A and B are shown apart, each in its own frame.
Chain A
Amino acid sequence: MNEEQVWLEQAMKGDQVAFGKLVEAYQTPVYNLAYRMLNNSGEAEEAAQEAFVRAYTRLESYDPAHKFSTWLLSITSNYCIDQLRKRRALLLSIDEPLPPHPALHSDGAKGPEAQAVLNEQQQMVQSLLTELQPEYREAVVLRYWYELSYEEIAEMMDTTVSAIKSRLFRARRQLAEIGLERGLVPAMEKELA
């Protein structure tokens, strides 16, 4: 039995310290998913916390045959999709400028130039992601940051592998088109081989 399974078992019995270890281990993937989906640091933090609370209250329904991380990310993405739908219902455009992630302004351990490049890169990625429909955005985020297989993404999004392939197909094409419009430099010939 690995460390994670021990924490899970203890958390099921109501041990919040053990669940805290799981929160510590998965805070970045959960928060990153929420931020990529919602494009707002405050909402992303709220969504990530809510996802952990939901996971804690529904631990009985977790099937150990699957990865805990996949189950947790699935709860997060479902919550984010609901939030985006509510946002749309409130007629708030997701295109309106939202406060960027604090990390985009922090100095961090990198030098100012490297940080500036990274900030620009993060902003470009977020601006491209917000152009996608929520379901496309979710598939792209899960594919690129979590390196999940098509099967795993399909299971998480409760759809088929072919539907996921089709979403990624369209999303990549759309991203490439918008990226070029926004000044993304195409790859050089030598990078193609």
Chain B
Amino acid sequence: MNHDDAFALMMDMLDGEASADRVSDLQSHLRACPECSSEWRALVAIDTLFRQTPALSPAADFVSKTLARLPNRRMRLWAMGTIYGAVLLGGLLPLALLGLLAYRLMPVLSQPTLVESIFESLQTTQRTAGIVMSALITGAGEVLVQQPVYVGYLLVIAGIIFLWGGVYRRLLVMEN
């Protein structure tokens, strides 16, 4: 038996999990190995010390102090119930109203001309947005080509603002 095996066996013995055969093996090893024997004696002393040390109790007014800190659970349950009810109603009521509205307007909404006109207006909006976007991109591209100096100025100003932001943050940290 080597030291590590012996030490593992010592742990089992302290936990009362070693079989009689293994206990006998360990005892033989301990008689032959002063190093393990010394370690085992220290472990037994620690084990005994911890097992013999009683648990500590809190002060006499511990229970009353603890109870004074408890939240009102009944009030909390009531409040939670009210909130859940309100949320449920808040979600169901608009849904019910929408359903009712859709039911009432169904004859009008199902008119083919109305559906077509809605579809057309959506397409027109999409086209307009496309034209505006392409005009903006083209315009920005032209400015970039015709006035590169202004673009350079803008970049330099943005860089200065960015750097100053970093310095300012550092100054704040130093102050704190």
Residues on A lying within 8 angstroms of B by beta carbon are 11, 13-14, 16, 19-20, 23-24, 27-29, 31-32, 35, 44-45, 48-49, 52-53, 56-57, 101-103, 118, 121-122, 124-125, 128, 140, 144-145, 165, 168-169, 172-173, 175-177, 179-180, 184-189, 191-193
Contacts and interface: CB of A to CB of B under 8 A. Distances in A.
Contact of A31 (B42, B45, B52, B57): B57
A176 B56 contact: no
Interface of B: 7-8, 11, 14, 27, 30, 38-59, 62-63, 65-67, 69-77
A172 B46 contact: yes
A125 B46 CA distance: 9
A183 to B, nearest CB: 11
B133 to A, nearest CB: 51
Contacts of B52: 121
Interface centre among B63, B65, B71 (most CB of A within 10 A): B63
A16 B67 CA distance: 7
Contacts of B43: 172-173, 176
Nearest to A11: B73
B55 A49 contact: no
Nearest to A17: B67
Contacts of A185: 45
Contacts of B74: 13-14
A85 B53 CA distance: 27
Contacts, number: 135
Tell me whether chain B's interface is mostly helix, strand or loop, or mixed: helix
A122 B53 contact: yes
Contacts of A20: 63, 67
Nearest to A24: B63
Contacts of B50: 125, 140, 144
A17 to B, nearest CB: 9
Contacts of A186: 38, 41-42, 44-45
Given A125-B53, A165-B11, A187 B48 contact: yes
Which 7 pairs across A and B sit closest by C-beta, in order of nearness?
A14-B74, A186-B41, A14-B73, A187-B44, A176-B42, A32-B55, A31-B58
